Structure 1
Amino acid sequence: MKRLSFILLLCAFVSVASAQKVTYNFQDVTLSDALRYIQAQTTNYEITFIYDELEDFRITTHIQNKSIPDAIVQIVGFYPVRVVKSGAHEIYLECTHKTDRHLKGTIIDEQGHPVAYANIAILNPADSTLLSGGVSNEAGQFVVPYEQHKVLARISFIGYKTIYRLCTQEDMGTIQLHRDSYVVKGVEVKGSKRLAYASDRGLIANVKGTPLEQFGSVTEMLTHLPLMMSNGEIAGHGKPEIYINNKKVRNEQELDRYRSDEILTAEIVTNPGPEYGADVTSVIKLKTVRKTGEGWSGNFSAAYRQGKEYYANGNAALNYRTRNGMDFFARGYLTDNNQLITYTANDQLQASSTWDYKKSAERLVRVKYYFADLGWNWEINEHHSLGLTYTANNYIGDFKTLRTSDDQVWQDGKLVDGGHSVTTTLEKPRMTHAVNAYYVGVVGKWKIDFSADYYDAHNLSEMDGGTYNSPRSDIQPNVSSRTNNANQLLAEKLVITAPVPKGDLTFGEEASAVDRTSDFTQSGFSTDNNVHQETTVWSLFANYRLQLGKFSLNAGLRWQNEHNRYDQNGQRNDEMSPDYHAIIPRASLTYKTDKWTHTLAYNCTRNNPPYSRLTTAVNYRSRYEYDTGNPYLQPQISHTISWSSQWKWLYAELYYGYRKNVITSFQSAYDDVNHPGVIIDDYRNIPWWYSYGIDLNCSPKIGIWQMNYTVSLGLSDWDVKGMGMPYKWNGLCADFTLDNTFTLPHAWLLNIKGSVAPYQESGSSQRKATGSLGFRISKQFLKDKSLSIALLANDILHTQYTEMTAYGGINIRTQFKQYNDSRRVGINLSWKFNATRSRYKGSHAGQSERNRL
């Protein structure tokens, strides 16, 4: 029996080993390096080749669950390379044309996109006889061996005009093909890409070749990704961090500077590894279309929205590229943002007296600002690149927030106060500076990604307020305050990836140092306050990715160390200066077949409170409303287990989560003796919170109709009674997003999108149903479709209200209804010329600390 068990076990091992599969996305690597990677994934085959012989052949292709021999055949493609399998475990490769010269180049179309599978024929200039030939790969690149000193190159592709060039040099550079117009009557050719497919860490959405590429700016395009909800969060995974070509997006307005047709894919990472920050719950990684070319390129765009107030922005980006791989770029962005928010409230406080408050209020926000980038990067060769960028942004004039309200205040059923309240807050212009430097390289089989950041931001805020026509004369009629903040961050991050048997190992470190000062002075309604905070964070992380046939395993740890110093009014407060040492594990196991992808994942996150919530300064909002922070807040710890499955265009995920020390706002009586009736809003830690639910996405394409429907259903259990709150609900919270895109003839695109969130009860709040309906119609112009115009309308039915009842503290009830001026119509314009892909590959260090600042 033992012998039989041993034989069965041995057979199972041999079966798994013989079924070794390769899944990898090769992006512009040499054929030699691609073969070395495949060799590292297998112990069953010995791959033999001459390194220098294959070094000129470059590879861009996606290997999906292929056997070792099939993967090699795919990467070789149409190159003049012979593949010979000897016996059961040996594979030999050799170049069939051993010559000293190799004609090289890259073929692009009129829009700068690579042309794959174009024919390259090398002809004798004397009589046009065929000497040699080849085919371009998926990146439009070709390498064709030849012997003569002077040859005639013929480049052809169906639907494009054939090009002839006399060549005396090996490098032809970039060759642009132009369309050859012709009509074939009675024949219509159609094709489409699937909107999204599964990866071992989430979903990868195709942008190029799908309707997503026609949504103007990347900001708009992101709202139409699978699993993206109307609140800007990934269903079940919170607000994502966003990267463009591995470079962390520092400011959401930066996304308006990129066009959606510049994006190749958008990877939605729902199971981020430990190389990301401890507080990261989801990531969107945007990869741009690879384009080539030298000289000037650029794009210009403008947008306008009109509701009760208006919003307008303009964007310009210029890039100059040299033949030796250097890029010099400058980008500017200007915004004029105005928004009128209206709301009504009916609140109650039960202290020594019962206080009732009624108000009808408006909040008007007016801000003009700009930011600009100046940068340089140098792609020395395919193994090494580095760059530097400087970003500056500032307000144009004051950032003004005007709050007005008509108030009525009752004490024990008797009207005791009221009047017209006005509070004006002015954020004064202060220049913000940011510098990012990076190096990305390959040394042998090791990949290195290093980034360093410096960030300097100052903010001066002045507030004036008061209540007029009030019957009370015993309260100070006018108040004022001044807040001066100074923030500095210095950070660096190193990520190294090394091949290991059957997978790869990613490891590295990240360090950041923050220096923050907040100086608060006021006119007598509270007390002055000066806070100086210093935080140093240092982390080590490692992740191992193992591929075993149809299974892939990701397992990693992040060890994070934090040192805090909190000085209040010049004195160190030890209780407010905790040190933390935390281990954050993350893991996922994926099983993938031709039709199904299943992933079991565990994710741990750790969220530090924003620095603004650690203050002790008491701010004035109205005569009966103050707010402050809480320097004793603890970091929030989350643990989530999820199971996701995908079949073709259907995706489903089940999850269960546990959170400890959940940070939430909390209301209480400020000072019932000296300030009766005043409510103060601060922040507290809820001991625990359980959540569980399911997220669904359906994205089939039926003819011209691309559907993208997402449903999020969840339940949660909050420990609010442990904080003295009298009400607690655990009802179903549902959110529906119905996104419909129609690709129409003559480069027209129509999008109709609706969202609905039915009545919800959760924790200590009850929220009424809300929703919105919007449409967008766009048209691309000019021969290369470089000009785009779109008309938009948001919240057509005027239904996107926020209306709820909340028991946000001890003996406090809040009822309010708010509308954020979301019913707007607008227009988008964009134009690009000679577009080339940015080679800037930097990412950002210390991003978690920048978010807290």
Structure 2
Amino acid sequence: MRTVVITLLTSLILVGRLMAQNPTVTGQVSDQSGRPIPFANVLILAATDSALVTGGVTDESGCFQLKANMDQRLFLKISFVGYQDLWKVLLIDSDKISLGQLVMETGGIALEGVTISGRKPLIRREAGNIVTTIENSSLSMLGTADDLMRYIPGIIQTDNTLEVAGKGSPAIYVDGRKLRDQSELSRYSSNDIKTVKLVLNPGAEYEADTRAVIDIQTNRRGREGLYVYALGRLSQRHHLWNNEMIDLSYSKGHFDWFLNYTHSYSRFETETSKSQRKVARDTLTLQEERSKDFERSNYHGLSTSFNFTINDRHTLGARYALGLNDHQWRTDGSPFEVSVNGVQQPTTYTSNLSNGNNPSHQVNIFYKGNHGERLTWQLDADYFSILHKNRSEVDETTANESLHTDQHRDRSNWLAATKLIMGYEWERGGRLSWGGEYSYVRTSGTSGIDRQESPTSDAFMNSEKKYAAFLSYRLQKRMFTLDAGLRYENVAVWAESNGQTLTDRHYSELYPSVALLYTPTSQVELGLDFSKRVRRPSFGDLSNERIYYNQYYWFYGNPVLEPEDIYEMGIRMAYKALSFRLNYEHIKHFIAYDFSIHPTNALITIEQAVNYPKFQRLGATLTGEKRLGPWQVVLNMSFYKPFLKLVTESGTYHYDKPYLDLSINNTFTLPLNFLVRLDGYFYSGGSRENKSYTPRGRIDLSLSKAFLDETLVVTLQGGDLFRWMDSDIIQEMNGLVIDQRTRGDSRSVSLSVTWRLNNQKSRYKGTGAGKDAINRL
């Protein structure tokens, strides 16, 4: 670790000295009414022969930042379609030249009956990150933010699962606010999204468990008045689903107000067959189980927020969100067949009924400010609480007897957190960011199992207190960009059960990250990166509670779980919209769900999250996007080779079979505002964690039609048309061989209708604090 820190600091010093010789030229381009002009061409030319020195384009707010040379007389040229070219002489008399606001005048030639239009690239790169433009593209018609994720290069979406190729589950931000879970994406209209940025190497300002970030920016064009967006969706699987949303916002002067209501009702039906082969204490046990599970969920979500802009330097706001989720899970008369050393036991029929309710509350307040052009800051504070109430009944019957088990699990979670981020732009170039976080999490409750004459109960409590500080620096020198950061986290974990202390541990760790990017041309990138990160176990896995499914199967919590330490290195190469990455991961204290045989009853299987010594994985990822006329295709292809070795008393097990993930998503923009999507996904099968999977895939097809100047969009969609997502999972460990086949509820037909009034919209500007802990709750 000391070597990494010294190398990091040495790199900062060397690159900083190189960059001191190149002054920074900044400015903002606008039209005659003061509105910013995004994507205008900005060139710095030599005064002697008009040779190009450097160039770029303005961002969404019309701003630009370029590096010049101290030893040259220079001109600045700005051009954009429909405006007269703007020329300006550059006087290089300091390390940072601010040109202020640069106004372009309208001009050019208008041809009667002819419309000349340009198309900006859908995909671009920004300091090694992939930025996809949604605004004014066919992607804006897809429906919700959740619907468009699969069309972002580098993101793989299968049904309700969202992953970044080679990175796993990402952290998702919308206008700087981190989402509590991925389902919140369905609350945002794709029409309201401006850009989606995929960050593959998050810096030190993100939580230490963040391996990838999806950063979504919504439209911020500032038109005052009322905005209304409404969505209705019916989906037929085995049962009928429905989803409704209405989104309101109102802006006037310095004040913005937002209100969102979401409702969803869903019902799943899943068929599962599971076989187990156990060898323990000279006893061979064979178990066969077949079940049909029914799951129902009824969710209501309400959120409201406001922003108040005091002046151009200070903004504050607050947000409140309420969630109500009532769910039920049941299994009717599932047969469970057991044989011991070849002797068939009486067949057991199991019925399970489980009901739960999970109300949640979340409050966020924020304040943003700046001092001059260089110093910025943002302060966020969060409170979050969620109550889990669950009641279940299990009835098990054979020809000779019956067994009834009642179970309750009540758990209350709450979090308080605050986060401060500050930034400073150096005169000689580069940006320094620093800040700190504090969070306190507490989860407590009771659980009990009343199994006729053998009741058990547990009163448990877990708490976690975290202090964190970070420092990061970005330097740019012509074709080189260096991002380096260091994050420090001090965490105290405490757990008790029935008044007795189970865990009292402290963790104090440094998490460095560094990325070097070489950009020889505007279309070519080469990059190297290294980071150390952490993944902490969920609070449910850390509890001491036990969950009873039937007389042969239990789930145990594990309060002594250690967090994972993740070391990651990558090499990235990119050309235009095509990107290739090689990645290596080394994980210490790897967490996975383990199955074992009960020490006193060989018929009982116990599932529990445990730490394995290490896990390693090599990965190669290819992503890209291409447009040919009305056709746009997005490719995501990843190949992985895992290395996991389990040494147990019953033998040594290897999970090292490679696998391929492939998704090809196609969009066809047709006349008369029709949009056709054809998407395919394929998984080759292989070893994931401590499981072996068989191949699976899916084909999705949809047709959308826009009416009334694209304010009304109707979409008909078919999902997993051939029902290829059924999976077969095999696990072998601790004297057990478990083979489970699941036939899910993924095939569907849905009809969606969206309507909007006033297509100009802003979003809440807070970012939130303590989000990693909220996700683990």
Cα distance, 1:217 vs. partner? 0.4
Secondary structure in structure 2 of the residue aligned to 1:753? strand
Checking the alignment, whether the CA contact within 8 Å between 1:388 and 1:435 is kept in structure 2 is: yes
Residues 302-356 of structure 1 deviation map (CA, whole Å, 9 limit, x = unaligned): 1111111222110011112122x10122110011011111111111121232111
Confirm whether residue 752 of structure 1 aligns to residue 681 of structure 2: no
Residue 435 (structure 2) aligns with: 508
Residue 89 (structure 2) aligns with: 84
Residues 167-214 of structure 1 deviation map (CA, whole Å, 9 limit, x = unaligned): xxxxxxxxxxxxxxx855xxx867544332223242111212333222
| 1-structure distance, mates of 2:110, 2:318 | 42
| 1-structure distance, mates of 2:218, 2:318 | 19
Given the alignment, which residue of 635, 644, 669 partners 1:718? 644
Secondary structure in structure 2 of the residue aligned to 1:223? helix
Residue 401 (structure 1) aligns with: 329
Given the alignment, which residue of 450, 453, 478 partners 2:404? 478
The change in CA–CA distance for 1:727 and 1:508 in structure 2 (over 3 A counts) is same
Residue 346 (structure 2) aligns with: 417
Given the alignment, which residue of 785, 797, 811 partners 2:722? 797
Given the alignment, which residue of 382, 389, 393 partners 2:319? 389
The amino acid across from 2:546 in the alignment is V
Cα distance, 1:14 vs. partner? 14
- Give me the TM-score of the superposition, normalised by structure 1: 0.80
Cα distance, 1:701 vs. partner? 1.0
Q: For 1:756-835, what aligned pairs fall within 5 Å after superposition?
A: 756-761=682-687, 764-783=690-709, 785-807=710-732, 809-835=733-759
| 2-structure distance, mates of 1:275, 1:584 | 11
Confirm whether residue 313 of structure 1 aligns to residue 314 of structure 2: no
Cα distance, 1:600 vs. partner? 0.5
The amino acid across from 1:256 in the alignment is S
Given the alignment, which residue of 179, 196, 204 partners 2:123? 196
The amino acid across from 2:198 in the alignment is I
The amino acid across from 1:626 in the alignment is W
| 2-structure distance, mates of 1:92, 1:25 | 9
Confirm whether residue 531 of structure 1 aligns to residue 460 of structure 2: yes
Confirm whether residue 205 of structure 1 aligns to residue 206 of structure 2: no
CA RMSD, 1 decimal: 3.4
Residue 170 (structure 1) aligns with: none
Residue 53 (structure 2) aligns with: none
Confirm whether residue 618 of structure 1 aligns to residue 546 of structure 2: yes
Given the alignment, which residue of 573, 585, 589 partners 1:657? 585
| 1-structure distance, mates of 2:608, 2:708 | 56
| 1-structure distance, mates of 2:75, 2:506 | 50
| 1-structure distance, mates of 2:129, 2:271 | 39
Unaligned segments of structure 2, at least 5 residues: 1-13, 37-43, 47-57
The amino acid across from 1:394 in the alignment is L
Residues 669-716 of structure 1 deviation map (CA, whole Å, 9 limit, x = unaligned): 1243xx440111011101011111200012111111111111100101
| 2-structure distance, mates of 1:492, 1:413 | 61
The change in CA–CA distance for 1:457 and 1:334 in structure 2 (over 3 A counts) is same
The amino acid across from 2:559 in the alignment is P
Checking the alignment, whether the CA contact within 8 Å between 1:499 and 1:505 is kept in structure 2 is: yes
The amino acid across from 2:395 in the alignment is G
Residue 166 (structure 2) aligns with: 236
| 2-structure distance, mates of 1:716, 1:199 | 31
Residue 262 (structure 2) aligns with: 333
Residues 531-587 of structure 1 deviation map (CA, whole Å, 9 limit, x = unaligned): 1112110100010101111101010011000112212101233xx121110111111
| 2-structure distance, mates of 1:799, 1:315 | 30
Checking the alignment, whether the CA contact within 8 Å between 1:498 and 1:506 is kept in structure 2 is: yes
| 1-structure distance, mates of 2:750, 2:362 | 32
Cα distance, 1:654 vs. partner? 0.4
Residue 198 (structure 2) aligns with: 268
Confirm whether residue 728 of structure 1 aligns to residue 654 of structure 2: yes
The amino acid across from 2:229 in the alignment is N
Confirm whether residue 849 of structure 1 aligns to residue 761 of structure 2: no
Secondary structure in structure 2 of the residue aligned to 1:272? coil
Confirm whether residue 434 of structure 1 aligns to residue 376 of structure 2: no
Which has the larger share of strand?
A: 2
| 2-structure distance, mates of 1:812, 1:234 | 33
The change in CA–CA distance for 1:240 and 1:71 in structure 2 (over 3 A counts) is farther
Cα distance, 1:80 vs. partner? 12
Cα distance, 1:23 vs. partner? 10
The change in CA–CA distance for 1:82 and 1:203 in structure 2 (over 3 A counts) is closer
Given the alignment, which residue of 409, 425, 431 partners 1:499? 425
Cα distance, 1:96 vs. partner? 12
Number of residue-to-residue matches in the alignment: 731
Identical counterparts, % of pairs = 22
| 2-structure distance, mates of 1:254, 1:88 | 50
Secondary structure in structure 2 of the residue aligned to 1:656? strand
| 1-structure distance, mates of 2:647, 2:463 | 35
The change in CA–CA distance for 1:623 and 1:681 in structure 2 (over 3 A counts) is same
Residue 635 (structure 1) aligns with: 563
Checking the alignment, whether the CA contact within 8 Å between 2:329 and 2:355 is kept in structure 1 is: yes
Checking the alignment, whether the CA contact within 8 Å between 1:200 and 1:599 is kept in structure 2 is: no
Residue 697 (structure 1) aligns with: 623
The amino acid across from 2:699 in the alignment is L
| 2-structure distance, mates of 1:218, 1:717 | 35
Secondary structure in structure 2 of the residue aligned to 1:738? strand
The change in CA–CA distance for 1:562 and 1:158 in structure 2 (over 3 A counts) is farther
Checking the alignment, whether the CA contact within 8 Å between 2:412 and 2:445 is kept in structure 1 is: yes
The amino acid across from 1:220 in the alignment is D
| 1-structure distance, mates of 2:216, 2:698 | 27
Checking the alignment, whether the CA contact within 8 Å between 1:358 and 1:407 is kept in structure 2 is: yes
Residue 61 (structure 1) aligns with: 62
Residues 734-764 of structure 1 deviation map (CA, whole Å, 9 limit, x = unaligned): 0110111111112111110001111324565
Secondary structure in structure 2 of the residue aligned to 1:221? helix
Given the alignment, which residue of 742, 745, 749 partners 2:668? 742
Checking the alignment, whether the CA contact within 8 Å between 1:620 and 1:626 is kept in structure 2 is: yes
The change in CA–CA distance for 1:774 and 1:831 in structure 2 (over 3 A counts) is same
Checking the alignment, whether the CA contact within 8 Å between 1:718 and 1:763 is kept in structure 2 is: yes
Residue 380 (structure 2) aligns with: 451
The change in CA–CA distance for 1:26 and 1:514 in structure 2 (over 3 A counts) is farther
| 2-structure distance, mates of 1:810, 1:58 | 57
Secondary structure in structure 1 of the residue aligned to 2:731? strand
Confirm whether residue 217 of structure 1 aligns to residue 156 of structure 2: no
| 1-structure distance, mates of 2:185, 2:687 | 35
- Which is worse superposed, 23-32 or 634-643? 23-32
Residues 793-845 of structure 1 deviation map (CA, whole Å, 9 limit, x = unaligned): 011111111112211x3001111111220000001111110233224210110
Q: For 1:38-49, what aligned pairs fall within 5 Å after superposition?
A: none
Residue 49 (structure 1) aligns with: none
Unaligned segments of structure 1, at least 5 residues: 1-11, 35-41, 45-56, 98-103, 105-116, 118-133, 137-155, 160-181
Confirm whether residue 354 of structure 1 aligns to residue 281 of structure 2: no
Q: For 1:31-42, what aligned pairs fall within 5 Å after superposition?
A: none
